[in-house]
Amino acid sequence: MDFGIFTFLLQDGLNSAAIYCLMAIAIILVFTTTRVLFVAQGDFLVLGALTLSQLQLGRVPGTVWILAGLALLAFAMEGAQALRERSRRRALRAVLFCLLVPALVGGGVAWFSGKELGLAIDILATIALVGPIGPLLYRIAFQPLADKSILVLMVVATAVHFVIISLSLIFFGAEGWRTPALTDAQFALGPVLISGQVIAIIVTSLLLIVVLFLFFSNSVYGKSLIATASNRVGARLMGISTAQSGMLSFAMASAIGCVSGILIGSITTIYYDTGLVLTLKGLIAAVFGGLASFPAAAAGAVILGLIESYSAFFASAYKEIILFSLLIPLLMWRFVLAGHQDLEEEA
Amino acid sequence: MSSEHSNETEAVLAVNDLHVAYGNVEALFGVSLRVDPGEIVSVIGANGAGKTTMLSAIMGLLRSRGEIRLRGRDIASLTVEQRVAEHVSLVPETRELFMTMSVEDNLILGAFRPFTNGDRDYRQTMDEVFHRFPKLKERLRQQAGTLSGGERAQLVLGRALMSKPQLLMLDEPSLGLSPIITREIFSIISDLTDAGTAIVLVEQNARAALQVSTRAYVLENGLVTMEGRSEALLEDHRIYDAYLGKRTRDAG
Amino acid sequence: MSRLVFAAAAIFALFAAPLVFSEHRIVLMNYVGIATLVATGLYLLTSIGGLISFGQAAFVGVGAYTTAYLATAHAMPAGLTLVIMLAVNFALALLVGAITLRLSGYYLSIATIAWGLGAYYLFGTLDMLGGHTGIGNIPGITVLGVSLTQARAFFYLEWSIVIAMMIAVHNLLHSREGRAVRALKSGGVMVSAMGIDIFRTRIAIFVAAAMLAAIAGWLFAYMQRFVSPAPFNLIASMEYLFMAVIGGTGSVVAALLGAGIVVALKDVLTNTLPKLLGSNVNIEALVFGVAVVAILQWSPGGLWSLARRVGGVLPALRTPDRSPSGGRTLPRKLRKDPGAELLSITNVGKRFAGLVAIDDVTMSVRAGEIVALIGPNGAGKTTLFNIITGVLKPSSGTVSFCGDQVSGRLPNRITELGISRTFQHVKLVPTMTTLENVALGTHLRGRAGFVAASLRAERAENAGMLGEAAAQIARVGLQGKEALSPTDLPLGDQRIVEIARALASDPYLLLLDEPAAGLRLTEKRALADLLRSLRAEGLGIVLVEHDMEFVMGLADRVVVMNFGRQIAEGTPADVQSDREVIRAYLGEEA
**Minimum Cα–Cα distance from A239: chain B residue:** B81
Report how far residue C519's alpha carbon sits from residue C584's, in angstroms, rounded to the nearest whole number: 26
The closest CB to that of B110, out of A87, A238, A241, belongs to A238
Query: What residues form DSSP beta bridges with C365?
Result: C343
> Per the CB < 8 Å rule, is A220 touching B101?
no
Summarised one tens digit per residue, pLDDT across range C6-56 is 888 989 989 988 888 999 999 999 999 999 999 999 999 999 999 999 999
Average the pLDDT over B204-225 and give the result.
88
Backbone angles phi, psi at C373, to 5 degrees: -115, 115
User: Amino acid identity of A166?
Assistant: S
Position A343 in a domain: no
Position C64 in a domain: yes
Residues of chain C in Cβ contact (below 8 Å) with chain A: 50, 52, 54, 99-100, 102-107, 109-111, 113-115, 117-118, 121-122, 125, 187-189, 234, 238, 241-242, 245, 281-286, 288-293, 296-297, 300
The closest CB to that of C552, out of B240, B244, B252, belongs to B252
Position C490 in a domain: yes
> Per the CB < 8 Å rule, is B252 touching C518?
no
The closest CB to that of B252, out of C563, C576, C585, belongs to C576
Position C359 in a domain: yes
Position C229 in a domain: yes
A303 close contact with C: CB closer than 8 A: no
**A49 CA to centre of own chain:** 12
Average the pLDDT over C382-410 and give the result.
88
Among C311, C330, C350, give the residue marking a domain's end.
Answer: C311
Average the pLDDT over B175-187 and give the result.
74
> Per the CB < 8 Å rule, is A166 touching C285?
yes
Residue A221 confidence (pLDDT): 93
- DSSP code for B222: T
Question: Residue C496's domain is classified under what CATH number?
Answer: 3.40.50.300
Within 8 A by CB and 6+ apart from A322, the residues are A307, A311, A315
In terms of pLDDT, which residue wins out, C227 or C105? C227
Position A345 in a domain: no
Residue A339 confidence (pLDDT): 67
Substitution target from C106, C238, C270 for chain A, most A beta carbons within 10 A: C106
Q: Per-residue pLDDT for B238 more than 80?
A: no
**Minimum Cα–Cα distance from B46: chain C residue:** C518
Please list, residue by residue across B60-71, b when 16 or more beta carbons sit within 10 angstroms of its beta carbon and e when fewer do: bbbebebebbbb
- Do C304 and C360 reside in the same domain of the chain? no
Position A325 in a domain: yes
Three-class secondary structure of residue C562 per DSSP: strand
The closest CB to that of B112, out of A86, A87, A238, belongs to A238
- Do C348 and C253 reside in the same domain of the chain? no
Three-class secondary structure of residue C132 per DSSP: helix
Q: What is the pTM of this model?
A: 0.88
- Please, what is the angle between helix C198-224 and helix C151-173, to 10°? 170
Q: How many domains, in total, are found in chain C?
A: 2
Calculate the CA dihedral of residues C467, C470, C471, C474 and round it to 10 degrees: -160
Position A340 in a domain: no
- Do C207 and C294 reside in the same domain of the chain? yes
B134 close contact with C: CB closer than 8 A: no
> Per the CB < 8 Å rule, is B84 touching A224?
no
Three-class secondary structure of residue A140 per DSSP: helix
Question: Residue C169's domain is classified under what CATH number?
Answer: 1.10.3470
CB-based burial label for C82 (10 Å; 0-12, 13-18, 19+)? buried
The closest CB to that of A224, out of B100, B112, B163, belongs to B112
Assign B155 a pLDDT band (cuts: 50, 70, 90).
very high
Average the pLDDT over B218-226 and give the result.
89
Within 8 A by CB and 6+ apart from B176, the residues are B149, C376, C377, C378
Query: What residues form DSSP beta bridges with B201?
Result: B42, B170
Position A292 in a domain: yes
Task: Tell me whether 0.95 is exceeded by the ipTM.
Answer: no
Position C327 in a domain: no
- Number of Cα atoms under 13 Å in the Cβ half of residue C493: 16
> Per the CB < 8 Å rule, is C107 touching A280?
no
Residue C377 confidence (pLDDT): 63
The closest CB to that of B84, out of A85, A227, A238, belongs to A238
| Alpha-carbon distance A141 to nearest alpha carbon in chain C (angstroms) | 6
- Do C296 and C382 reside in the same domain of the chain? no
- DSSP code for C232: G
Q: Per-residue pLDDT for C204 more than 90?
A: yes
Q: How many domains, in total, are found in chain A?
A: 1
Summarised one tens digit per residue, pLDDT across range B77-95 is 888 999 999 999 999 988 8
> Under a CB-based contact definition with an 8 Å cutoff, are residues A208 and A102 in contact?
no
Q: Between β-strands C540-544 and C557-562, what pairing exists: parallel, antiparallel or unpaired?
A: unpaired
Position C166 in a domain: yes
Domain that holds residue C529: 341-586
**In angstroms, what CA-CA distances link C30 with B229, C141, C169?**
78, 15, 20
Position A61 in a domain: yes
Assign C327 a pLDDT band (cuts: 50, 70, 90).
low
Residue C110 confidence (pLDDT): 93
Position A114 in a domain: yes
Q: What percent of chain C has pLDDT over 70?
A: 93
DSSP letter for each residue of A262-301: HHHTTTS-B-TTTHHHHHHHHHHHHHHTTTT-HHHHHHHH
Largest Cα span, chain B: 61
Of the candidates C330, C288, C294, the residue with the CA atom closest to the CA atom of residue C465: C330
- Do C301 and C407 reside in the same domain of the chain? no
- DSSP code for C269: I
Summarised one tens digit per residue, pLDDT across range C137-179 is 899 888 888 888 888 899 999 999 999 999 999 999 999 999 9
Average the pLDDT over B57-67 and give the result.
92
Q: Per-residue pLDDT for C325 more than 60?
A: no
Position C397 in a domain: yes
Residue C279 confidence (pLDDT): 62
**Minimum Cα–Cα distance from C189: chain A residue:** A347
Average the pLDDT over C343-359 and give the result.
83
Residue C518 confidence (pLDDT): 65
A325 close contact with C: CB closer than 8 A: yes
User: Amino acid identity of A341?
Assistant: Q
DSSP letter for each residue of C303-347: HHHHHHHHH--S-SS----S--GGG--PPPPPPPPTT-EEEEEEE
Residue B251 confidence (pLDDT): 32
> Under a CB-based contact definition with an 8 Å cutoff, are residues A144 and A242 in contact?
no
Residue C160 confidence (pLDDT): 95
> Per the CB < 8 Å rule, is B178 touching C553?
no
**In angstroms, what CA-CA distances link C543 with A58, C513, C550, C551?**
78, 6, 11, 8
User: Amino acid identity of A256?
Assistant: I
> Per the CB < 8 Å rule, is B149 touching C552?
no
Position A342 in a domain: no
Q: Please list the ranges in chain A whose pLDDT falls under 50.
A: 340-347
Residue C407 confidence (pLDDT): 82
Position C320 in a domain: no
CB pairs under 8 A between A and B: 70
Of the candidates B57, B108, B171, the residue with the CA atom closest to the CA atom of residue A240: B108
A140 contacts in C (CB within 8 Å)? Answer: 293
Assign C280 a pLDDT band (cuts: 50, 70, 90).
low
Query: What residues form DSSP beta bridges with A193?
Result: A188
Domain that holds residue A34: 3-176+187-335
